[in-house]
Structure 1
Amino acid sequence: MASNIASAAKPQPQDPGPAVPKPGKPPESPPVAPPQPGTPSRSASGAIKAMGLSLGQMARRDEPGERIVELDPERIEPSPIADRLTAETMLDEGFEELKQSLKDHGQQVPVLVRPHPDSAKRAGGWYQTAYGHRRVRAAKELGLKIHAQVKPLSDEDLVLAQGQENAGRRDLSFIERAFFAQNLLDAGFDRSMVREALGIQRSELTRLVQVAAWVPKHIAFAIGPAPKAGRPRWHALGDMLQKEAAQVIAQEEIHSEAFRAADSDRRFQRLYDRLARRLQQKDKPRVIKSRKGVPVAELKGSVLTLGKAVPDAFSSYLADRLPGLLEEFEKDSAD
């Protein structure tokens, strides 16, 4: 069990925000009710239960910790566990649409935050997001306040709320779920907690972690979420990237202008196709022909296979001369 995920590396601001709300009159801001220090921690089920309620519904609730407050997004940090592959400079395609909706119609669903686990920041009025990262980012860019439910979540409650909200919305791509799982493990959470947070079985967690280990993180970030690329294709890409030559090609591709100009799914496809073509070419055997043009052998990697046109005795003849040929090769290489 993780003791303090607040010390984990800070992720890029990311957000599994809700679907764009329908046009309508924005709800009135509910009364501000700051969280009371020392309030006992509630279970993650309470955080998840409140997720689907509107601002108006939640404002009428009388349970401790269930009221909505209005916060300055400048004082809200993201969860210490990244669940997105969307970088600061490459926000997902729906972010601007979400931002415009927030501007036109107001915020329809609150975000979930906890008082910052660092005592100095907490005293300064800082909070940490469990979910709603994209809404917080949009409000910050628009200069708006953000409506938030504040709950004194433990580390475990926070990742459960974060993971289960994503699982309920089913908007994380396969590779994002893979790195979210790996990030949780790296932060010290045990596998049972990770499975609960993602709502998955043991076998699925194994597959997620395997792909996260095979695909270098910087390459995954360069590609992005690629929502149309499921587990089999990410697995195949990861398998290709086990070869050093493939990683060199990948580095060249992800820095190309055409790659950067493409959307996430096209970036995945460009790299996948390029590696598949290159590795297919390398796997083709070299056909060796006699001076008369008759195929006599095939060379694949370091394996030389003699053809049917070669007399049986030639294999012994070649074997006897291999030491001399090797010596001659080494001399030529040295020269």
Structure 2
Amino acid sequence: MARKSLKDLSGIANTIARSGAKPVERSARISAPALGALQGSLAAIREIDPELIDDWGPIDRLTEFTTVNTDEDAESFDALKQSIRDGGQQVPILVRRSKTEGRYEAIYGRRRLRACRELGVKVRANIQDLDDTTALLAKGLENAARRNLSFYEKARFAEAIRAAGYDAATVRQVLNLSKSGHSHLTKVTDGVPTEVGDQIGSAPKSGRPKWTALADAFGAKRLTSASALKVLQNNLAVGSDERVELLLKEASRRGAKQGGPAQQVVPIAGVSVKASRAAVTLTAKKSGASAAFAAWLEDNLEDIIIRSHAEFEKMNTQDDS
């Protein structure tokens, strides 16, 4: 089957424009080629059984990544279902024909598709023959014309596009990014463990500075995946932006502890352990009461460290599970 080129985004843009969505200020740069001719797409709208539609491509909304559904997410989805129940589906989703005869792939509109599926009604869909790259651009255009992705959602969407095999130039085109803007997103997805991001959620009010600070905290070992997840599990009732703040506070607390004055402990006579931000130092005097122990320690130190490290790894694995 022939796939349409980028110029055929005009039909998709037409559907978005007729739906009443207000574009964001920067959307002109994205949609200008697509808005050149606003005709024809409404003729491609059909009512389709939701069970005939499969998901396609990288997921853009973080609620679809996460296992944590906030009350806000639930209320928003319930409101969407109620709106469709009362007044019908006003804005069609975008689909393309699948390689499997009689089936379709959803490019965008997954929440509307899910709502129609749960309501047991057919979904209004704009059927377009799109290649993969054009489909990604359509998804980016739809996001720009409706509710902008949060900073972290953009970061995860960019990561998903790359994981699907597309180059950095395509990522920047889909999300309307500069090279530096893309670099900022990559720093966050490289620095913040995915499982932690899943538990945080979209954090719509948390922008680049907070997410970059969080990535830096993981890079500096002020936070680990295990310690971050423990904080989040103890605060499940708060929203996603509050979760970011809690982790930043935890990182700050740990950083202050690590940056404090060196502390020294003397467990036995002649043996001391000194801990500072830079190192942990063990000293055993080879004279006096600790002489024999110091000689034994020197002979067995390598084995002691190896066994202690193995025990640490075992404990750390249990914490992460």
- TM-score over 0.5 for the pair: yes
Given the alignment, which residue of 189, 205, 222 partners 2:199? 222
Structure 1 residue 250: deviation in Å? 1.2
Partner of 2:246: 270
TM-score, normalisation: structure 2? 0.72
Partner of 2:16: 51
Task: Map 1:37-186 onto structure 2 (within 5 A).
Answer: 38=1, 41-43=4-6, 44-46=8-10, 47-54=12-19, 63=40, 66-86=43-63, 87=66, 90=69, 92-93=73-74, 94-116=76-98, 119=99, 121=100, 123=101, 125-186=102-163
Q: Secondary structure at the match of 1:259?
A: coil
Identity of aligned residues (%): 35
> In 1, are the aligned partners of 2:97 and 2:105 still within 8 Å (CA)?
yes
Instruction: Indicate how the Cα distance of structure 1 residues 329 and 248 shifts in structure 2: closer, same or farther if over 3 A, else same.
Output: farther
Structure 1 residue 144: deviation in Å? 1.3
Instruction: Indicate how the Cα distance of structure 1 residues 268 and 140 shifts in structure 2: closer, same or farther if over 3 A, else same.
Output: same
Partner of 1:210: 187
2-structure distance, mates of 1:249, 1:40 = 48
Q: Which amino acid aligns with 1:265?
A: D
Instruction: Indicate how the Cα distance of structure 1 residues 331 and 40 shifts in structure 2: closer, same or farther if over 3 A, else same.
Output: closer
TM-score, normalisation: structure 1? 0.69
> In 2, are the aligned partners of 1:215 and 1:238 still within 8 Å (CA)?
yes
> In 1, are the aligned partners of 2:3 and 2:131 still within 8 Å (CA)?
no
2-structure distance, mates of 1:90, 1:302 = 40
Partner of 1:248: 226
* Higher RCO, 1 vs 2 (CA within 8 Å, ≥6 residues apart): 1
Give the 4+ runs in structure 1 shifted more than 4 A.
324-334
> In 2, are the aligned partners of 1:78 and 1:128 still within 8 Å (CA)?
yes
Structure 1 residue 213: deviation in Å? 0.9
Q: Which amino acid aligns with 1:269?
A: E
Render the CA deviation track for 1:225-273: whole Å, top value 9, x for unaligned: 011111111111111122285322113223x2x4222222222222232
Structure 1 residue 79: deviation in Å? 2.5
CA RMSD of aligned residues (A): 3.3
Figure out how many residues of one structure are paired with residues of the other and give that number.
Answer: 264
Task: Map 1:9-28 onto structure 2 (within 5 A).
Answer: none
> In 2, are the aligned partners of 1:246 and 1:275 still within 8 Å (CA)?
no
